Amino acid sequence: MKTTKEQFVVVHPLDDVFEPKVDTEALGPMAMTRSVRFSLLSLRAYLILMVLLVVYHVVMLAR
């Protein structure tokens, strides 16, 4: 902020007053189209499968 001519005050973020942000809790869950929902479900299945595959492989190697 400019206090007088050629004088500025610089404030560290932690010393500044709290800046209002988006109220994310009030927004609730994101509205998703059917294709996005399907993609996320596919991603979920892919992740579970891949993690199981890796765990199986590591266990086999440990034997």
58 binding another protein? (CB under 8 A): yes
Q: Is 3 in the site for another protein (CB under 8 A)?
A: yes
Q: Note the Cα 55 to chain centre separation in Å.
A: 26
Do residues 17 and 11 touch, judged by C-beta distance below 8 A?
no
When asked if residue 15 is in the footprint of another protein (CB under 8 A), the reply is yes
Name 39's Cβ contacts closer than 8 Å, sequence gap at least 6.
Answer: none
**35 contributes a contact to another protein by CB under 8 A:** no
- State yes or no: residue 34 binds another protein (CB under 8 A): no
The residues pairing with 2 across neighbouring beta strands, listed in sequence order, are 8
Footprint of another protein on this chain (CB under 8 A)? 1-3, 6-19, 21-22, 24-25, 27-30, 36, 40, 43-44, 46-47, 50-51, 53-58, 61-62
